[in-house]
Amino acid sequence: MPVAITCQSLSKSYSSRPLFKDLCLTIDEREKVGLIGPNGTGKSTLMKIIAGLVEPDGGSITKRKHLKTAYLAQEQDYSPDDSCHDIVIASLADDPLSPDEKNYKADLALSRVGFTNLEARVRDLSGGWKKRLALAAELIKEPDFLLLDEPTNHLDLEGVLYLEELLNQASFSFILVTHDRQFLENVTNRTIELNPVYKDGFLSVKGPYSEFLEGRQEYLTAQSNEQQALASKVRREVAWLARGARARQTKSSGRIKEAGKLMDEYAQVKARNALGQSAGIDFNASNRKTKELIVAKQIKKSMGGKLLFQGLDITLTPGIKLGLVGTNGSGKTILLKLLTGSLEPDAGTIKRADQLKIVWFDQAREKLDQTLTLKQALCPHGDSVVFQDRQMHIASWSKRFLFRPDQLPLPVSRLSGGEQARVFIANLMLQPADVLILDEPTNDLDIGSLEVLQDSLAEFPGAVVIVSHDRYMIDSLSTEILALDGHGKAEYFADLQQWERAKVQSESPQKPSQNKDKAQPDDKALPKTKPLSNNEKKELATIHDTISLAEQKVQQIMQEMAMPQHVSNHVKAQELTSLMHEAQAQVDKLYKRWEDLEARSCSKS
């Protein structure tokens, strides 16, 4: 397979801290790569170097000739007054297309990522729709290779599923940074982890994320065995060296040098193995024996004139793990605030156990003072904290969350998003809790921290309510799923798969076969209609197949419209647009015809 991008001996440092050194990677065409690693190992920096936005300290990047690349940044900085259409058009500033061709391509790119109002202003978009807008602005460039830095950030589950489908159908190659394990499993065919625990600074495994996990375990096991073998050799050499100068004089000076090298090698392997640790996350339970912690009955809430949910019952008992899902704006955070008591419902009642202790993980982390030093944020009173009735010094406490001693004097504002999340979790762990309320706790956490967080939540004896777009965590942790649709409906599901199936069924247009059991009104309430002729009966019997063929034609035309040779041909593009409108009109006409025939058939029976 031809090579698309080659990274040769790349090195990059910030201040005195190296991110990576002598990094050598090749990425082939048609590869879909997931780039992972602990916070601070340089994933985003490597992406920017490949995109040409940052210069490496050493080494070089070589790309295939005429390779078109595009880069989706982790955060977007758009003017609030800009329209979606104008932002996407701006991506074609250097493209020698006519204004009409640019307008057509912009409309197609926005429609492709789900926009219906192409002139919407940035100020009216949620974080998830801003991410879709940024994606459209890169897709319009028709890249051969797309770089995506945390593309699932700010997306709700619906947005993540949409992006997953788009990337699975994409003809371009890509490399993406993400901590979403289910997303990695479903869209990539190679995983690369940047981590100093590996000898080369990274580990690359072909295949989905599940195969990477197997490869990583084999590597770390082999490296651990290597450390044990080297330790035995070092002990023998140390014993030999300890025999004294007379014994050493009879030995080769070369052996003395080899002993020194052996000790260095052992020290390096031992140091790498020591790096493979995760944050020590363990929430502090109050061990309350109350059976019912929070009971909500028939609660209703509207915001800004929009009904979010009504008639909703929730009972939280020790051991329950409730996963809360829904689109952005469906009321998930509002519901969490109702449970904590910071908001009141419009109707219904919420009863909490006496002296209930609720610990709240805030999505925005507004309570984290950015002006404090890391030491002050982790240990606000003196040099130690009390965790689970045991006093711990700040040095041990900070090490538990993977912070280095030299970071303690730094202000919180200088920490990465993942590091700030660990500080926030550390503070929450000091508070005894009956109920944990977590609003997007997985944002910015690396995969190692996610795994430890998930294990800690699973072992927590109280109740947990969690909102997260991390499907792996939600599905593995939750004992039940509560889905909000944002239009007043709230429904419980056993797992995410059941919710996703129900969602697909509700969004699919009804076919004739799906309406056989539809309840019919009383015959007396129906107006008298003309009975079906023999030809109409035959038409009704075959109309389902006719509709399917018409819908296939619409899909075929849309695929043709997306072909690069047709997008760049203004005349052909207009012709295909006209054909698509005609084909869609035919589909609508057939559905209307089927409804008429079905109604008349039912009225006779």
Q: Are residues 73 and 145 in the same domain?
A: yes
Q: Which domain-ending residue is among 164, 188, 214?
A: 214
Q: Are residues 452 and 486 in the same domain?
A: yes
Pairing of strands 173-177, 58-63: unpaired
Q: Are residues 206 and 229 in the same domain?
A: no
What lies within 8 Å, CB to CB, of 78 at 6+ separation is: 87, 122, 130, 133
Q: Is residue 196 classed as helix, strand or coil in its secondary structure?
A: coil
Looking at the domain assignment, is residue 283 inside a domain? no
Lowest mean per-residue pLDDT among 345-354, 364-373, 530-539? 530-539
Residue 61's pLDDT band (boundaries 50, 70, 90)? very high
SS3 for 476-520 is HHCCEEEEECCCECEEEECCHHHHHHHHHHHHCCCCHHHHCCCCC
Please tell me which residue, 579 or 45, carries the higher pLDDT value. Answer: 45
Looking at the domain assignment, is residue 219 inside a domain? yes
Element holding 70 (H helix, E strand): strand 69-72
Is the pLDDT assigned to residue 243 strictly greater than 80?
no
CATH of the domain at 400: 3.40.50.300
Strands lying side by side in the sheet with 321-326: 358-361, 435-439, 463-467, 321-326, 480-484, 490-493
Q: Are 110 and 85 in contact (CB under 8 A)?
A: yes
Q: Are residues 151 and 240 in the same domain?
A: no
What pLDDT, on a 0 to 100 scale, did the predictor assign at position 508? Answer: 58
Closest CA to 47 of 140, 151, 137: 151
Is the pLDDT assigned to residue 415 strictly greater than 70?
yes
Q: Are 401 and 424 in contact (CB under 8 A)?
A: no
Residue 526's pLDDT band (boundaries 50, 70, 90)? very low
Q: Are residues 430 and 364 in the same domain?
A: yes
Is the pLDDT assigned to residue 23 strictly greater than 60?
yes
What pLDDT, on a 0 to 100 scale, did the predictor assign at position 264? Answer: 67
C-alpha 111/C-alpha 170 separation (Å) is 16
Looking at the domain assignment, is residue 596 inside a domain? yes
Looking at the domain assignment, is residue 177 inside a domain? yes
The stretch 291-295 carries a mean pLDDT of 90
Looking at the domain assignment, is residue 284 inside a domain? no
Residue 568's pLDDT band (boundaries 50, 70, 90)? low
Strands lying side by side in the sheet with 3-14: 17-28, 3-14, 58-63
Q: Residues of the chain with pLDDT > 90: what percent?
A: 23
Looking at the domain assignment, is residue 510 inside a domain? no
C-alpha 321/C-alpha 134 separation (Å) is 34
Please tell me which residue, 455 or 252, carries the higher pLDDT value. Answer: 455
Residue 331's pLDDT band (boundaries 50, 70, 90)? confident
What pLDDT, on a 0 to 100 scale, did the predictor assign at position 549? Answer: 84
Q: Are residues 187 and 47 in the same domain?
A: yes
Structure-token match 């889905």, residue found = 483
Q: What is the pLDDT of residues 165-220, one digit of tens each?
A: 889 888 889 999 998 888 999 999 999 999 888 888 899 999 988 898 888 888 88
Closest CA to 574 of 100, 93, 87: 100
Q: Are residues 459 and 559 in the same domain?
A: no
Q: Which domain-ending residue is among 461, 478, 505?
A: 505
**Exposure of 337 in the CB half-sphere (CA atoms within 13 A):** 12
> At how many degrees (to 10) do helices 534-562 and 570-604 cross?
150
What pLDDT, on a 0 to 100 scale, did the predictor assign at position 516? Answer: 37
Is the pLDDT assigned to residue 430 strictly greater than 80?
yes
Q: Are residues 161 and 219 in the same domain?
A: no
The stretch 37-55 carries a mean pLDDT of 89
Q: Are residues 127 and 262 in the same domain?
A: no
What pLDDT, on a 0 to 100 scale, did the predictor assign at position 513? Answer: 41
Is the pLDDT assigned to residue 312 strictly greater than 90?
yes
Looking at the domain assignment, is residue 280 inside a domain? no
What pLDDT, on a 0 to 100 scale, did the predictor assign at position 523? Answer: 38
Q: Are 461 and 305 in contact (CB under 8 A)?
A: no
Is the pLDDT assigned to residue 604 strictly greater than 60?
no
CATH of the domain at 588: 1.10.287
Q: What is the domain range of residue 131?
A: 3-214
Q: Are residues 267 and 311 in the same domain?
A: no
For 245, counting Cβ atoms within 10 Å of its Cβ (0-12 exposed, 13-18 middle, 19+ buried), the class is exposed
Q: Are 523 and 529 in contact (CB under 8 A)?
A: no
The stretch 112-124 carries a mean pLDDT of 86
pTM: 0.65
Q: Are residues 380 and 490 in the same domain?
A: yes
What pLDDT, on a 0 to 100 scale, did the predictor assign at position 488? Answer: 87
Looking at the domain assignment, is residue 531 inside a domain? yes
Domain count, the chain: 4
The amino acid at residue 164 is: E
Q: Are residues 69 and 11 in the same domain?
A: yes
Q: Which domain-ending residue is among 178, 196, 214?
A: 214
Is the pLDDT assigned to residue 47 strictly greater than 90?
yes
Is the pLDDT assigned to residue 483 strictly greater than 60?
yes
CA torsion 314-316-319-321 (nearest 10°) is 40
